[in-house]
Amino acid sequence: MNRQYGKNYYLSVKLHETGLSGSDIGRKLGISRERVRQLLCVHRNETTNFKKQGNSITADPRICSKCDKYFTPRTRFQNTCGCKLSRIADCSVCGKPSLQEKRRKHTYCDNPNCFDTIKLRITKSRKEGALSRNHTPTTVECPICHKKHTTYLWLARIRNFKIRCLECKQAQAKTLCQVCQAPSSSKTGRCKQHAKVSHPSLKS
């Protein structure tokens, strides 16, 4: 065994080896039957035996993959001791346990100085993000009606300086009407007003 236990642990193990039940062991030691069961479970885990290729092998202590503590596995493939790691993250300023979970980007503890430092970091990151979007007015061309209008520079760069004007956006225009040259969303090339109207210029 790699750990030291109380006297009830060793007495419970000895009495159990003599064939006594948990109730009888509890009466002799002055503890409950549930406590006897827990102590015997600890002893069973410390001396775990499992079979490998038909041979009985005593489990050797191994390191837990989560908390880096030694434990005795119950099966051949057990790599954790059953610990539950805390979801609480450390403070990103001083390293102490914080008040937030690990999924947050900026974590801080109950120290007011850490909180002020995080506030400055958030303000700085927001300011840098706003500066990256250049709001300088820029002239662009509408790909539908080919009119010139202005928009923000960052948006013009994303759309390759071709953005529909306000009239074409409102009409959800895909093309211009062949009769009145108004923005139209029809696939026939005419707006609703001239959809069924014949026009001399359209005759072949």
Per-residue pLDDT of the chain (204 residues; tens, 9 = 90+): 445 678 898 899 899 989 898 899 999 999 999 999 988 888 776 666 666 666 666 677 788 877 777 877 776 677 877 666 556 677 888 877 776 666 677 788 878 888 888 888 888 877 766 656 777 888 898 888 888 988 888 888 877 888 888 887 776 777 788 778 777 777 777 777 777 666 555 554
Provide CB contacts within 8 A for 47, sequence distance 6+.
58, 72
Going by DSSP bridges, is the β-strand pair 70-71/88-90 parallel, antiparallel, or unpaired?
unpaired
Q: Which of 122, 130, 145 is nearest to 191 (CA)?
A: 145
75 neighbors 57 (Cβ within 8 angstroms): no
Supply the pTM of this predicted model.
0.30
Q: Residue 32: what pLDDT?
A: 92
Q: Residue 114: what pLDDT?
A: 86
Q: Residue 45: what pLDDT?
A: 65
Q: How many whole angstroms separate alpha carbon 88 and alpha carbon 107?
A: 9
82 neighbors 67 (Cβ within 8 angstroms): no
Q: Residue 36: what pLDDT?
A: 92
Q: How many whole angstroms separate alpha carbon 37 and alpha carbon 45?
A: 12
Half-sphere exposure of 170 (CA within 13 A, CB side): 4
Query: What single DSSP character describes residue 124?
Result: H
141 neighbors 162 (Cβ within 8 angstroms): yes
- Return the bridge partners of 138, or none: 151
Environment class of residue 161 by beta-carbon count within 10 Å: exposed (0-12), middle (13-18) or buried (19+)?
middle
